[in-house]
Amino acid sequence: MVAQRAGNKAEQHVSQMGFWDQLATWIGANANNGTWYMGGVLAALGFAGALGVILISGPLAYLFLALVGYMGYKMRASTMNLMRPAFGLRGSIGPSLINVIQFMGWAAVNTYIAAISVSYLLSNMFGTAHFKPGGLKGMLIGVAVMGVLHLISISLGQRSVRLIERVGMVLVILLVIWETIVVLQEVPLSKIMTWTAPSAAHLPFGKALDVFAAFNLAWVTAGADFTRFADKKSAATTAPFLGATIG
């Protein structure tokens, strides 16, 4: 009886992320620098082609995210822990190391892209005499700023992640609306929809599907790390699927 009560209390402790928290987490996770970079790559397909890749490849990948999310919710375990029944305790070390390297690269790429943005902001604020756009000085400050922000975001574990994603989801949506308005003021939607990339920048549709699927599947390997805190099944399955797709 005592053990059962302790188990119930432990489960209540981790079951702190509701549907909206999970939705915000996965919108924030997928509406990032790397995603915008991939959007620039997909632009080589033109408006209709890029939209087609996003609507086909994304949801297919996030079906796997929802499945892993359910396993994390059911077992209250991270994605790497879920590998132990299939690979064994020692065998799971290999996939875990691969995942560590993958997310080190993911964080590095996103930090690098963000640092470029910071260098341009510093140049606009203080002039090129002090900060050259994309220059080493601005980049180093950008990396330092993003590093501190990363540490703050994980300082309290999933509690700080929840808080930042709640605020981040709103800011990202506002940024996307603002970006869209700015773009449409410069280029009409009709011109965007009919634009075609130069032949030298042509990207086959099938190759784009493959690249974007690989990009999206990267999140599947971390799905349960967040959904293990979900308070109900829909928060662990539907919310990640919708959040990542919307993002």
State the pTM of this model. Answer: 0.81
Low-confidence residues of the chain, pLDDT below 50? 1-13, 15
Would you state the pLDDT for residue 32? 80
- Options 1.10.10.10, 1.10.4160.10, 3.90.870.10, 3.60.20.10; which CATH number does 15-246 get? 1.10.4160.10
Dist CA 147 CA 226 (whole Å): 21
Average pLDDT score over the chain? 87
User: How far apart, in Å, are the Cα atoms of 108 and each of 31, 48, 101, 104, 114?
Assistant: 16, 31, 11, 6, 10
For the segment 61-90, what is each residue's pLDDT rounded down to a tens digit? 999 999 999 999 999 999 889 989 888 988
Would you state the pLDDT for residue 8? 45
Dist CA 96 CA 88 (whole Å): 12
Q: Virtual CA dihedral for 94, 28, 164, 144, nearest 10 degrees?
A: 70
Dist CA 230 CA 243 (whole Å): 14
Per-domain boundaries in the chain: 15-246
Closest among 180, 152, 146 to 164, alpha carbons compared: 152
Dist CA 159 CA 66 (whole Å): 22
